[in-house]
Amino acid sequence: MTTTFDAQARATAQPRSAPPIIEVRNAAKRFAVNGQSLTVFDGISCAIPQGAFLSIVGPSGCGKSTLLKLISGLEAPSGGEILFNGARVTGPAEGMIYVFQQYTKSIFPWRTVIQNIEFGLKSHKTLGKRERDELCRHYVKLVGLEGYEHYFPYQLSGGMQQRVVIARALICEPSVLLMDEPFSAVDALTRAILQELILKIWQTIPVTILFVTHDVEEAVFLSSRIISLTKSPAKIHEDVAIDLPYPRDQITTRADEKFHGLRQQLFASIFLQEKGGAPSAPRS
Amino acid sequence: MRKRWPGFLLILVLLVLWEFASANKMIDPITFPRVSVIFASWMKAVTGTGELTRQLLPSMGRIFTGFGLAVIVAVPLGLLMGTIPMVYRLLEPITEFIRPIPSSAYIPVAILFLGIGNEMKVFVIFLACLFPILLNTYGGVRGVDSVLIDTGRTFGLSRVKALWQIILPASLPSILTGMRISLGIALIVAVVAEMITGNSGIGYFILDMQRIFRVPEMFAGIFTLGLLGFLINFIFLRVEGHFLRWRGTSVET
């Protein structure tokens, strides 16, 4: 493919000193539960370089999704700050799109496939009708939904609905895509196909992806870097660069010994925490 | 439609039984004239003299004016109540207090303020239609999933645009249910109001025929009401099915 630039260089050779596209500084999140304050995390800091495919993994309930919500601006931190392109995030920022875990609830059921995708273009008023149609068709093709343009969501499978949601996010050309366990609700085979699709997209389009998942194997397969969190109140437990070569595919990458080593290492650390053996604070 | 023939057959059987019982004086043929007689006077009142058709138009005019005004007021108000907590807290108690009062109870009050003319009837129908639409609208809005609203936010939709592009279509099924309930109520209230006062409308016609003892015409009026209600509901379900075709469940008509 001629359009594919060197994702390998972008992912692994990226110097850590390059200006980060996202910076989390001392972020804290507390919720009031039954009159008591529950700390999800306090004092998380990390910098995400432009072009990264970064996954956040950790035991269930550790606050992975909450961290992603804070970065997106959909929720405000209780302390600390988030910087996006150097500017403080105070609300949903232009250039960042959040892809929800519950795609069935995020898709617009009253819009057809093409209308759902076109929704992502709404703010681009300068485009003419013809340009809009062309762009929509391009993204329909990118996620492999040709022939289904005029279907309503209820007529699609879960995997196809997730493709619509991804195309809708991509069409507004975000510099950051925030994905919250996007493939957790589809069957294993569909998931494998969608994983390859998102990798292909990441290698074709200059987009930074933050990917939350509880599936370590998925994280290793996709990411250029993985951050693992401890149990709540969460801290960054590990920050691992995944130096598996891109382009990756389900067959050869998963057969790689290095893949297994990384998977095993991360899985062990998370599993032991979930069991309660590793450093963690008691949950109230 | 094809699966519904047993129901229509039952109606036919009952009408035949009525005809038979009345003809053989098993029921009083004066209070229950034969169906064929009722049908003959219905035909005459509709196509011949046209006295029934003449009364149908003012009734329908009132129903659709009152209903239309209720939609215009209740849908925006419900959207505001559903989206702005302050508006909800302000209007919810008064809504809950007025709602249980049967709308026919307003007729005497409405007569005091608006007289016995058309305005009064339209007003009472309007009021009766208002609450089911209002309740279903704000109920629908409050039921919109937060993920859908956050989806709008992440795409940078303004609050006004989100109201129009997300909240309104998402609560449309609920709004349409409210409208359908209201249409049924509108018919009832219109007939009651016309029976209490006035000199036109299908309600007036039924009562008038009873008073001058033209019993077949009275029944013709009642059957017309049944037919009218059926038709309104049928058309509404078709409209609803069109607007909610994205739900995939075909609305049975």
- Rounded-to-integer distance, Cα A1 and Cα A204, Å: 9
- Rounded-to-integer distance, Cα B206 and Cα B221, Å: 6
Give the residue-averaged pLDDT of A117-131: 82
- Rounded-to-integer distance, Cα A236 and Cα A224, Å: 17
Identify the pLDDT of residue B177: 95
Identify the pLDDT of residue B94: 92
Identify the pLDDT of residue A123: 63
| Cα angle value A131/A134/A135 (rounded, 5°) | 85
Give the residue-averaged pLDDT of B156-171: 93
Contacts of B144 in chain A (CB under 8 A): none
Give the residue-averaged pLDDT of B158-164: 91
Contacts of B154 in chain A (CB under 8 A): 72, 74, 92, 96-98
Identify the pLDDT of residue A124: 66
Is 0.80 surpassed by the pTM of this model? yes
Quickly state the pLDDT bin for A283 (edges 50, 70, 90).
Answer: very low
Quickly state the pLDDT bin for B9 (edges 50, 70, 90).
Answer: very high
Instruction: For residue B147, give Cα distances in angstroms to A69, A110, A112, B47.
Output: 12, 15, 19, 57
Instruction: For residue A80, give Cα distances in angstroms to A46, A77, A176.
Output: 12, 7, 21
Render pLDDT for B40-97 as a digit per residue (tens, 0 to 9).
Answer: 999 998 888 888 889 999 999 999 999 999 999 999 999 999 999 999 999 999 998 9
- Domains within chain A, CATH numbers bracketed: 19-95+175-184+207-284 (3.40.50.300), 102-173 (no CATH)
Identify the pLDDT of residue B1: 56
Biggest distance spanned by C-alpha atoms of chain A: 59
Identify the pLDDT of residue A19: 78
Rounded to two decimals, the ipTM of the complex is: 0.86
Quickly state the pLDDT bin for A278 (edges 50, 70, 90).
Answer: very low
Give the H/E segment covering residue A263.
Answer: helix A257-275
Mutant choice from B147, B150, B154, B174 vs A, greatest count of A C-beta within 10 A: B154
User: Do B148 and A106 count as a contact with CB atoms less than 8 A apart?
Assistant: yes
Q: Which residues pair with A57 in a beta bridge?
A: A228
**Tokens, residue B141:** 């809005």
- Rounded-to-integer distance, Cα A253 and Cα A240, Å: 17
- Domains within chain B, CATH numbers bracketed: 52-247 (1.10.3720.10)
Measured in whole angstroms, how far is the alpha carbon of residue B140 from the centre of its chain? 20
Contacts of B140 in chain A (CB under 8 A): none
Measured between CA atoms, the residue of chain A closest to residue B144 is A105
Quickly state the pLDDT bin for B124 (edges 50, 70, 90).
Answer: very high
Of the candidates A55, A86, A72, the residue with the CA atom closest to the CA atom of residue A199: A55
- Rounded-to-integer distance, Cα A242 and Cα A226, Å: 7
Give the residue-averaged pLDDT of B218-247: 93
Quickly state the pLDDT bin for A42 (edges 50, 70, 90).
Answer: confident
B34 has pLDDT over 90: yes
Give the residue-averaged pLDDT of B216-235: 93
Measured in whole angstroms, how far is the alpha carbon of residue B157 from the centre of its chain? 36
Identify the pLDDT of residue A68: 94
User: Do B166 and A74 count as a contact with CB atoms less than 8 A apart?
Assistant: no
User: A187 — phi, psi (to 5°)?
Assistant: -70, 165
Give the residue-averaged pLDDT of B179-189: 94
Whether B153 contacts chain A with CB within 8 A? yes
Closest Cβ–Cβ partner in B145, B154, B170 for A98: B154
The answer to whether the CB of B174 falls within 8 A of the CB of B139 is yes
Closest Cβ–Cβ partner in A72, A97, A110 for B246: A110
The answer to whether the CB of A11 falls within 8 A of the CB of A53 is yes
Quickly state the pLDDT bin for A18 (edges 50, 70, 90).
Answer: low
User: Do A152 and B154 count as a contact with CB atoms less than 8 A apart?
Assistant: no
Mutant choice from A110, A123, A124 vs B, greatest count of B C-beta within 10 A: A110
Identify the pLDDT of residue A10: 53
| Cα angle value B15/B18/B21 (rounded, 5°) | 150
Render pLDDT for A210-258 as a digit per residue (tens, 0 to 9).
Answer: 999 989 999 999 999 999 988 878 888 889 899 888 889 898 898 888 8
Identify the pLDDT of residue B163: 93
| Residues of chain A above pLDDT 90, percent | 52
- Rounded-to-integer distance, Cα A228 and Cα A281, Å: 16
Give the residue-averaged pLDDT of B102-107: 88
Of the candidates A164, A160, A170, the residue with the CA atom closest to the CA atom of residue A115: A164
Whether A157 contacts chain B with CB within 8 A? no
Q: Name residue, tokens 């349409």.
A: B176
- Rounded-to-integer distance, Cα B44 and Cα A225, Å: 85
Identify the pLDDT of residue A177: 95
Measured between CA atoms, the residue of chain A closest to residue B145 is A105
Distance (Å) from the alpha carbon of B236 to chain A's nearest alpha carbon: 19
The answer to whether the CB of A284 falls within 8 A of the CB of A41 is no
| Cα angle value A11/A15/A16 (rounded, 5°) | 100
| Residues of chain A above pLDDT 70, percent | 89
Of the candidates B48, B43, B56, the residue with the CA atom closest to the CA atom of residue B202: B56
* A30-34, A69-73, A80-84: least confident range: A30-34
Quickly state the pLDDT bin for B252 (edges 50, 70, 90).
Answer: very low
Closest Cβ–Cβ partner in B147, B150, B246 for A109: B246
**Tokens, residue A224:** 């250029």
- Rounded-to-integer distance, Cα A208 and Cα A22, Å: 10
| Residues of chain B above pLDDT 70, percent | 97
Give the residue-averaged pLDDT of A21-39: 89
